């Protein structure tokens, strides 16, 4: 079955999808994106992702490429064309194509929209059953990490260092020793007295859509939740740790740097939240977020 992408108004075979060399996404990373999970043919937290896309566009004073409802139809059409049941839809909007100049292009420059899909087999992923390790690295990013921009170079460098260290993710750390988030996920710990902790959604982190759903699920499960910053030392000493993102769901973390977390296997709260999240995306719970 041929794989299609969507590029500026057309569904095109994936290997022929191309953008202009003067696309501002290519030249300035002047663009935003979203990743929406598709599970059993259904888009997970679609409204939350669409709302965050609108917010990212607004914060960067970028026009929307089309009405939200039309974009949602195009997304569904791409999913159908690619016969996607489990995986993700990636969508990226840039400020369009214009002669290279840092300042914005003429107001009538249409934004550029690209969409792709990727197949993923969530059911067989070992990370959910075995857990993963993370390493900590300095957070070298800018002051608007709340905007989901394609400007991801510090994130890429940190993720590469994680991979080279044999880890799944890098947790990014401020100069004061606080963890902000992962290079492509939100960071969570469970304290020795069973409190679930994650950092508040300020400009220092991306307010993950999965993060928000997990907060709702945790409340439904009666877990004690505290939204506050935590340090690397607290992470090393935590009873449990996990990361969350659209494609990581709730991924248990069993090692942070050299510190083994708990008994080195996924902890009970992480497993409970992963099960709750899997039930949620399978429609076995009321829609939480
Ligand atoms: C830096 C960062 N933080 C957090 C997240 C998690 O966000 P979401 O749950 O919406 O996927 C991501 C996802 O890509 C990310 O890149």
- Does 109 share its domain with 202? no
Ligand 1 binding pocket mutation candidate from 90, 245, 246, 247 (most atoms within 8 A of CB): 245
- Does 133 share its domain with 150? yes
pLDDT at 288 over 90: no
Whether 246 lines ligand 1, by a CB cut-off of 6 Å, is: yes
Instruction: Look at residue 144 and tell me if it is in a domain.
Output: yes
Instruction: Look at residue 11 and tell me if it is in a domain.
Output: yes
Whether 210 lines ligand 1, by a CB cut-off of 6 Å, is: yes
Ligand 1 nearest atom to the CA of residue 148, by list position = 16
User: What is the b/e burial string over 228-256, where b = at least 16 CB atoms within 10 angstroms of the residue's CB?
Assistant: ebbebebbbebbbbbbbbbbbbbbbbbbb
Whether 199 lines ligand 1, by a CB cut-off of 6 Å, is: no
Ligand 1 nearest atom to the CA of residue 210, by list position = 9
- Does 65 share its domain with 204? no
Residue whose CA is at the smallest distance from ligand 1 atom 1: 184
Q: For the chain, how many structural domains are there in total? A: 2
- Does 221 share its domain with 87? no
- Does 271 share its domain with 233? yes
Contacts of 161 (CB under 8 A, 6+ apart): 135, 137, 170
Out of 42, 67, 148, 174, the active site residue is: 148
148 is catalytic: yes
Confidence tier at 285 by pLDDT (50, 70, 90): confident
Instruction: Look at residue 21 and tell me if it is in a domain.
Output: yes
Nearest to 285 by CA among 226, 197, 213, 190: 213
Q: Which domain holds residue 210?
A: 126-281
Ligand 1 binding pocket mutation candidate from 153, 185, 188, 244 (most atoms within 8 A of CB): 185
Domain finish residue from 91, 120, 149: 120
Ligand 1 binding pocket mutation candidate from 36, 87, 152, 186 (most atoms within 8 A of CB): 186
Whether this model's pTM surpasses 0.95 = yes
Domain finish residue from 99, 120, 141: 120
Instruction: Look at residue 245 and tell me if it is in a domain.
Output: yes
- Does 24 share its domain with 130? no
- Does 133 share its domain with 237? yes
**What whole-number percentage of the chain has pLDDT above 70?**
99
CATH code of the domain containing 266: 3.20.10.10
Instruction: Look at residue 239 and tell me if it is in a domain.
Output: yes
Residue pair 73/81 in contact by the 8 Å Cβ criterion: no
Residue whose CA is at the smallest distance from ligand 1 atom 14: 184
Confidence tier at 128 by pLDDT (50, 70, 90): very high
pLDDT at 287 over 70: no
Domain finish residue from 72, 92, 120: 120
Give CA–CA dist 182/179, Å, rounded.
Answer: 8
Give CA–CA dist 6/18, Å, rounded.
Answer: 10
Instruction: Report the alpha-carbon angle 89-90-93, nearest 5.
Output: 135
Query: pLDDT for 141-164, tens place per residue?
Result: 999 999 999 999 999 999 999 999
In angstroms, what CA-CA distances link 41 with 80, 87, 239, 242? Answer: 9, 9, 35, 26
- Does 170 share its domain with 265? yes
Instruction: Look at residue 289 and tell me if it is in a domain.
Output: no
Instruction: Look at residue 58 and tell me if it is in a domain.
Output: yes
Whether 208 lines ligand 1, by a CB cut-off of 6 Å, is: yes
- Does 26 share its domain with 83? yes
CATH code of the domain containing 50: 3.30.470.10
Residue whose CA is at the smallest distance from ligand 1 atom 4: 185
What's the residue count for the chain? 289
Instruction: Look at residue 83 and tell me if it is in a domain.
Output: yes
Query: pLDDT for 176-188, tens place per residue?
Result: 999 999 999 999 9
- Does 100 share its domain with 167? no
Give CA–CA dist 70/169, Å, rounded.
Answer: 35
- Does 140 share its domain with 100? no
Average pLDDT over the chain, rounded to an integer: 97
- Does 273 share its domain with 141? yes
């Amino acid at each position: 079955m041929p794989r299609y992408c969507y590029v500026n108004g057309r569904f095109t075979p994936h290997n022929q999808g191309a953008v202009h060399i003067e696309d501002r996404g290519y030249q300035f990373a002047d663009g935003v994106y979203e990743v929406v999970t598709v599970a059993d043919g259904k888009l997970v937290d679609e409204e939350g992702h669409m709302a965050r896309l609108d917010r990212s566009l607004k914060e960067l004073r970028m026009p929307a490429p089309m009405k939200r409802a039309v974009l949602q139809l195009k997304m569904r059409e791409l999913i159908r064309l690619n016969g996607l049941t489990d995986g993700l839809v990636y969508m990226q909007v840039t400020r369009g194509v214009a002669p290279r100049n840092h300042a914005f292009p003429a107001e009538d420059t249409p934004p550029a929209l690209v969409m792709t899909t990727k197949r993923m087999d969530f059911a067989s992923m070992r990370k959910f059953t075995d857990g993963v390790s993370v390493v900590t690295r300095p957070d070298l990013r800018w002051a608007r990490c709340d905007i989901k921009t394609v400007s991801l170079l510090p994130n890429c460098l940190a993720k590469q260092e994680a991979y080279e260290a044999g880890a799944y993710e890098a947790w990014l750390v401020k100069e004061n020793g606080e963890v902000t988030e992962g290079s492509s996920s939100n960071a969570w710990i469970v304290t020795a007295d069973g409190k679930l902790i994650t950092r508040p959604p300020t400009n220092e982190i991306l307010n993950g859509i999965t993060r928000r759903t997990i907060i709702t699920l945790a409340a439904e499960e009666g877990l004690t939740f505290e939204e506050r910053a935590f340090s690397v030392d607290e992470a090393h000493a935590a009873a449990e740790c996990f990361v969350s993102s659209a494609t990581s769901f709730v991924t248990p973390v069993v090692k942070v740097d050299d510190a083994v977390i708990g008994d080195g296997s996924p902890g009970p709260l992480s497993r409970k939240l992963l099960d709750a999240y899997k039930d949620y995306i399978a429609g076995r719970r009321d829609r939480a977020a």
